[in-house]
Amino acid sequence: MGRPFFVREQMNWINPINLTIFHFRIIHKKVVVDDAGSPQEVIIPWAEFQEIEELLGLDLEPGVAEQLADAKRDRQSGDTSAYVGFFELLTSLQ
**40: CB partners within 8 A, 6+ apart:** 5, 32, 33, 34
Q: For residue range 6-48, what is the model confidence (pLDDT) as tens digits?
A: 555 555 444 444 444 445 678 889 999 999 999 999 999 999 8
Give the residue, 84 or 37, on which the prediction is more confident: 37
What burial letters (b/e) apply to 27-55, b meaning 16+ CB within 10 Å?
Answer: bebebeeeeeeeeeeeeeeeeeeeebeee
| pLDDT at residue 4 greater than cutoff 80 | no
Domain ranges, ordered by start, for the chain: 6-93
Supply the pLDDT for residue 14: 47
Supply the pLDDT for residue 30: 92
Q: In the predicted model, what is the mean pLDDT of the chain?
A: 77
